[in-house]
Structure formats: structure tokens, C-alpha cells
Structure 1
């Protein structure tokens, strides 16, 4: 099995940029070997691997130690408790040296040519491109195909990918498959990594990165994203959903970053959808906060006002 650690300076691959894979694990034991083997199977030769066990209570630490012993260039950090997704990734990012980084959850799978394809395209892009992303195959717990992230109907793609300046698009809608991202180190450095005060990372990263950096879509399936009960929120939009405070915090940042009326309108689309989901699931406290933000975009419709009044009454 190929060694995926970084090549020495005398290697023919020494002229290629180093890619750091920050692999974070929390109770991924059933899927962990498949994930780690997919790192070893990469055809790209210049890879640095940093393993972070985020306080797992299953046998994940034992599996990680086994692989780290076989791959002496891999770094391994076993955390005594779960410090959250954002802090765990930042720990690995700050220990890394790669020009590009992958945030790899070890219940997913990297397809063998992923890094080769992504780095080849990234190297053709100007320096102000900070993020490259692609399509993904969604798989179940057994690894069986469910569907692709991007659905194709003739010449139409759903969700429609966006490239270049995508700030308004990341405000308006979800279209990026997070596990497929390859990030430029300079972009993460400029942002100071992920915001460690947040429960989840991707929306906030997209908003802050897209303000000053361009994104590029690669039309290829590079990653298998696993869908399983542990990976899905059963409390989405309901009272107590831990994601919503982070969504609100990110939307507040986004509003402060908006420079045009069109960007405010794009954020209003997102806020309206989030607010209506909260109302639908009886989370009126968050619905009121989202309505307050929506009013600041100057795109509060009559129905939005009615729903906001209803939620305020339910909170009283």
C-alpha cells in the first residue's frame, strides 16, 4: 500500500505543492479504516497527514494509533475530550505546512485521484482564488450509492454550481458540498482559520472567504460523503438545535459584510428561509431573531411581518 506522507526534497514530486489533510474523527470507528485507506490510495504524491481524534469514546483512537504507527510521517493528536469541530480542525491546521488544505471528516472517503485533479486545476487559477470544490457521491452506512450531490437534468444542474465571485450566492443558497473543498492556506491564514465560537464551520467559512476570495467548481466527483444517523441532525430548527445560534451569528457577520443592495437581497432570501423553517418547527425564539435581521436588509415582506408577529406572540 502506498505511503501518503510528504515526499523528501530529493523526490521527483518535490516541485509539487504540499497538501495537508487534517483528518478529524469523533466516534467514526465503523468507517475509519475506509477513510484512512482512501488517504493512502491518493495518487497525488505530496501529502501531509494530521490525524485528530476529537474525544472519541469508541475504538477510534486504537485504529488511529495503528495507522500512525505504520505511517511514521503522519501526525496524531488524541484529545481527551470533544473540543468541537472548529477547534479540532484549527489545531491540525496550525500544525500543518501545506499550501493547500483538506478538512477531512473520517466518516467520508476521498476518491483516489481527488488531490491530483484538484491541485492541477488550482495551479491554473490566479492567486485570488481561495477555494476549489467539486461534486460528491452520497453513500449510506454500508457504502452503497444514494445519489450525487449535484443532480443533472439535461443540461441543468441542481444545485447550480457557482465560480468566481460567489459572495451573494453563498448568502442566498447552499450549493457547495463541504467535504469536497480544497482550501488555499493563504485564505485560511487571512481568516484566522475557522471561528471557534461556532458549532459548525462551513457557512461561516464560505461567507468570510467569499467576501475577498474567488471560488472555483471542478465538475468531477472527488469524494464520497457518508449519510448516517450520527451525521444527521434530528433536532434541525427545533428549540434547542445547536446549529441555529451559529447560523444567526454568521448571518450577522454576513449583513455587516454586505456592500450592495443585491447582496442584502441575497441574504434576505437565506434569512427568510431560515425564519420560516423555525416557525414551521415551533422555534419562535430564533424566528424572531431572524426576522429582526431580515428587517435590517429592508426586504421584510408582508408575510414575513405576519410570521414575526406570530412568533413574538408565541414567545410572550
Structure 2
């Protein structure tokens, strides 16, 4: 009988952290399918993964070992095809799921069939696993000090970063219906949240259920550097969003996003991209 929840763990040169990530899936309070994808790591990640699997021979763990690097989006989609689970979590091999992440997600989403994504609060940790801060500041009961929006979030997601991507839990049927991740992109989270939020609700669980590791080599840390393809992907996402906006509120949200990304492009001397964002901004302003 297939598991209700599948965790797809994507690994690329995370030999130091992958075993902790995998162990956090095994430790879930709700039995969870685990699919591990190594995207042609050049370090000792594959050996660490195989060693972990041999220590947990009682668990059925599916693996994909890519011979060449495909990137996050293609690697994830390959794993997505292997599972019939109802819910999906995309776990980077340097992050950690706290033991009740899956159970809490199921409790929320199983009673709310309209929800495409459940997201939560998270703690940020450093390379050594030490606490840095919470994504949403919390009170003494670990509840968010701010009101976190949920429901129809398309405009909010388009306008600003406020959801911690490693906390996402997807309804698989909605995710597969839109074709999974866009394989033309260098990163997935903004695009997939926008495409799913266009027609579906999101829900928030006000608990810290994930630990996100902050590394100097992470994709987020390098996104604006010269030669990095993430800003190109953000431009593509903004162009896709232009085709999705339906009212003035969403138009203003897209303009806010465009202006922010144009500023980043200019500050980091990505002048061709800066010009492309400004052109899209004028196109958006002129849209009726």
C-alpha cells in the first residue's frame, strides 16, 4: 500500500548534511515514503547515502543517482514520477524536518481539500546546526508574532518573499496537474507557488516544523552573482506572471516585484537583466 506522503530529498554536494536530512525523514511520527536523488555530486554524498540506506535496510528507500547534473527542477520531476503518494515534500539535503512535520501537514490538508500547499514556520540554523533565528519571530509559546496570511495568496507571493520554501507540503494531484516544476528554470519555489496559488488556496500551520540551514554556498546566497542563472529565471517567472495577473491589485504586486528585482540587477551590475526588468515594468504599467 503506497504511503500517503512522499519526501523527495534532493542532494548535490551535501556530504556533511545528507545523513541528518535523511534521518529526519525516518524519524517522522507518521510513516513516510523516502525518495533520494543525488544530482551527480562530486563529493562523498553518494557514499553517505548508500551507507545510510544500508543502516536502514528495514526501510524501503528509493534512489536515483544521476550520472550528470540535471538541476533541481529536472531532478525533482524525475522523482515525482516514481511516487503515487497524495502529498509531497521537497527536502533539500542540507535541511531538516522536525519529527511531526508530516503529521501536522496531514492533519491540516486532509480536512481542507481546496489547499494546494501547507506551509509552516521554521528555524534557521548554521553549518553546525546552531540556532540563528526563526523565519517568523515567535513569542514564548513559539507562535508567530505577526499574522501570517493564508488562503488566496497569489498577489502576496508575487509581491514579496514571506513563505519559507523548505516548509512547503504539496497536494500531489494539484502539483502533477500543472506538470511539476518548470524545468527551464534554475530554481523552483517562486514559480511553483505562483502557479499553484493562481487557482488554489494555501494554509499555514503556526508551528516551527523545519530547520533550514544557512550556508555561504547556498543557491539563495549566490542568486545575484555574475553568471548565476537564478535572476534570469526570476525574469522568466515575472514574464509568466504578467500573463496570469487579473486585476489592479495583482498588477501592483507584479510591479513591486519587478522594481525589486530590477534594483538587485542594477546593484549587482547585471545591466542587461536590469533593462529587461524595466522593459517588463513599462509593459505592465501600460497593460489595461
Asked if residue 34 in structure 1 is aligned to residue 20 in structure 2, the reply is yes
Question: Would the alpha carbon gap of residues 20 and 171 (structure 1) be closer, same or farther in structure 2, given more than 3 Å must change?
Answer: same
The one of 42, 52, 59 equivalent to 1:57 is 42
Residue in 1 that maps onto 2:168: 181
**What stretches of structure 2 of length at least 5 have no aligned partner?**
none
Question: Would the alpha carbon gap of residues 187 and 78 (structure 1) be closer, same or farther in structure 2, given more than 3 Å must change?
Answer: same
Residue in 2 that maps onto 1:247: 234
**Which has the higher mean CA deviation after the structures are superposed, 106-115 or 60-69?**
60-69
What SS class does the counterpart of residue 151 from structure 1 fall into? coil
Residue in 2 that maps onto 1:143: 129
What SS class does the counterpart of residue 252 from structure 1 fall into? helix
Q: CA deviation at 1:157?
A: 4.3
Question: Would the alpha carbon gap of residues 23 and 245 (structure 1) be closer, same or farther in structure 2, given more than 3 Å must change?
Answer: same
What SS class does the counterpart of residue 217 from structure 2 fall into? helix
Question: Would the alpha carbon gap of residues 212 and 138 (structure 1) be closer, same or farther in structure 2, given more than 3 Å must change?
Answer: same
Give the Cα–Cα distance (whole angstroms) in 2 for the partners of residues 18 and 235 of structure 1.
Answer: 35
Choose between structure 1 and 2 for higher RCO, CA contacts under 8 A separated by at least 6 residues: 2
The one of 172, 180, 183 equivalent to 2:159 is 172
Give the Cα–Cα distance (whole angstroms) in 1 for the partners of residues 193 and 16 of structure 2.
Answer: 30
Larger radius of gyration between Structure 1 and Structure 2: 1
The one-character-per-residue Cα deviations of 1:176-198 (angstroms, maximum 9, x if unpaired) are 11110000011111110000010
The one-character-per-residue Cα deviations of 1:186-230 (angstroms, maximum 9, x if unpaired) are 111111000001000001101111101111111000000001122
**What stretches of structure 1 of length at least 5 have no aligned partner?**
1-8, 301-316
Q: Is contact 2:150–2:202 with CA below 8 Å preserved after alignment?
A: yes
Q: Which has the higher helix share?
A: 1
What SS class does the counterpart of residue 60 from structure 2 fall into? coil
What SS class does the counterpart of residue 230 from structure 1 fall into? coil
Q: CA RMSD in A?
A: 2.0
Give the Cα–Cα distance (whole angstroms) in 2 for the partners of residues 233 and 38 of structure 1.
Answer: 23
Give 1:37-186 correspondences, 5 Å limit: 37-45=23-31, 47-69=32-54, 70-71=56-57, 72-125=59-112, 127-152=113-138, 157=145, 161-186=148-173
Give the Cα–Cα distance (whole angstroms) in 2 for the partners of residues 119 and 56 of structure 1.
Answer: 32
Q: TM-score, normalised by structure 1?
A: 0.85
Q: CA deviation at 1:241?
A: 2.7
Moved runs in structure 1, 4+ residues, more than 4 A?
152-158, 232-235
Q: Is contact 1:133–1:218 with CA below 8 Å preserved after alignment?
A: yes
Residue in 2 that maps onto 1:214: 201
Question: Would the alpha carbon gap of residues 137 and 235 (structure 1) be closer, same or farther in structure 2, given more than 3 Å must change?
Answer: closer
